[in-house]
Chain A
Amino acid sequence: MEKHGARSSSPATADFDPEIPVVEAIRHGDAYALAELMRRQGRWVRGVIFAVCGRMADVDDVTQQVWLRVWQEAPRLAEPSRWRAWLYRIARNAAVDSLRSRRRQRTLVEAVTSAGQLRRHDEPPETVLAGQEEQTLVLDAIAELPALYREPFVLRHLENWSYAEIGGLLGLPADTVETRLVRARRKLREALKGKT
C-alpha cells in the first residue's frame, strides 16, 4: 500500500521530544518557532479540524485561529512536555466552536428560506456527481462518515500513526481506535463503491 506522509510528527513515546525546545521558544515569544511548529505539526492539526468540522472550506480559517490561540496561550502552558495534548485540545475546541457557529447560521438561513433549498444534498445525485473530481468525491465520502469514526480515520490516513498513537492523542484505548477504523473503512467502502 502506498504510504503518504512521513511519521516524523508521530506522537510515539520517545526519550527526547524534539518539539519541546520549539514549544519552549514559542512560550518565550519566538514567532519563528511558531512557524516551525506549524510546519512540523500543521498537517495533523488540519486533519483534526477537518475531521471535526467535516468540511474542507472551514479548515483554513479555523487553522489560523488555532495557531493564534497557540501563540497567545503558550506562556500559560504549564507542562511543555504535554504540548501535543494541549495543541489537540486547542484544535478540537476551535473546530467545535466553528461547527456550532456554522450550525447556528444554517438554522437561521433555513428559517428564512424554503426548507433545504440551499443544501447541496437535495440536488439529484447525478448533478452532484457529474463533473466532480476524485478528490471532492473522496473528501465528501470521508466528511459523511460519523464524526466518531472520522477523526481516527483521518489521522491514520494522513499521518500513518498506529492505533496506540492515535489513541494516545484522542484519549481512547487502542482497541477502540481499531474498531472505529474498521467501521470507517466499511462505511467508506459502501460510499465509494463503483465510484473510484
Chain B
Amino acid sequence: MDERTEQLINRKLDGELTEAEVLDLDKQLIKSPQARALLAELEQNDAVAGRVLHDALAGKDTDWTTAQPLPAQHTARRWSWNRWLIAAAACAALAAGLARVAIWPGSQGPNPDKQPGMWVEGPRSESGTAPSLAADDTRTMDAWSHMELLDSAKANPHRVIGVIDEETRSVYLLEVEQPPLRVTPVSVTY
C-alpha cells in the first residue's frame, strides 16, 4: 500500500478529507484489502486512544480553587530593559542639567575672556539655588589641584565649587560643607 493511501486514511480519521479525496480513498478501499485492514485497525486504535486519554485526563481540577485560599496575584508589571534604559537616560539628563545650572547661573556660560583651562567659581547665591559668579572667587587654574581647591574652600565658605576642563569638555563639581569640611567630587562630561 502506498503512502498516499495511508495519508488519505489518516485524513479520513481526522475529518480533513476534501470531496475529491473522499472519492479517491473510496476507490483505494474498494480495490485494496490492505487499505481496508489498515483503516479498520487505525479506527480501533484511535477509538481506544481517545477513550483512554479522555478517561485519564478528564478534568478534576475545580475543587482546590475554592477549598483553599489562593495566593496573591502579581499586580506590578515587570520593567523591561528598555524602560530601565529610558529611566537611566532621564536621570543622566537631569544630572547634567543640574550641573549646568549649578556652574552657569542663568544662561551665562564661562567668561570668554578667560584662558582655556581650569575655571573655578562660587559661592552659592543667597536667593537662588545656583551659585553666583563673584569676581574674587573666579579664577583660572593651569591644572587640577586638590590642595588649592581645599585651601580656597577653607578660606571662603563655598558650598559649591565648579571646575571646567574645556579641553576634555568636562565639568567637575565639588560640594563643600563647613563645618565639618567635606569635599564630594562629582564628574560630569557634557
Contact = CB atoms under 8 A, between A and B. Distances in A.
The answer to whether A and B interact is: yes
Interface stretch (A56-64, A95-103, A110-118, A119-127): A56-64
A186 to B, nearest CB: 8
A181 interface: yes
B118 to A, nearest CB: 53
The A interface is mostly helix, strand or loop, or mixed, namely: helix
Interface residues of B, number: 41
B57 A158 contact: yes
Given A1-B43, A162-B16, A154 B59 contact: no
A46 B75 CA distance: 27
Given A31-B70, A158-B50, A189-B42, A135 B55 contact: yes
A157 B74 CA distance: 35
Contact of A157 (B43, B46, B59): B46
B73 A71 contact: yes
A75 B78 CA distance: 11
Interface residues of A, number: 52
A34 interface: yes
B71 interface: yes
Nearest to B43: A1
A75 B43 contact: no
A67 B68 CA distance: 13
Given A1-B46, A181-B14, A50 B52 contact: no
User: Which of B6, B41, B57, B74 has the most A CB atoms < 10 Å from its CB?
Assistant: B57
Contact of B75 (A4, A75, A134, A153): A75
Given A1-B13, A181-B14, A196-B45, A47 B57 contact: yes
Given A43-B59, A139-B53, A192-B45, 13 more contacts: A2-B51, A31-B70, A38-B59, A39-B61, A47-B53, A59-B57, A135-B52, A142-B53, A156-B14, A158-B57, A178-B14, A182-B6, A182-B10
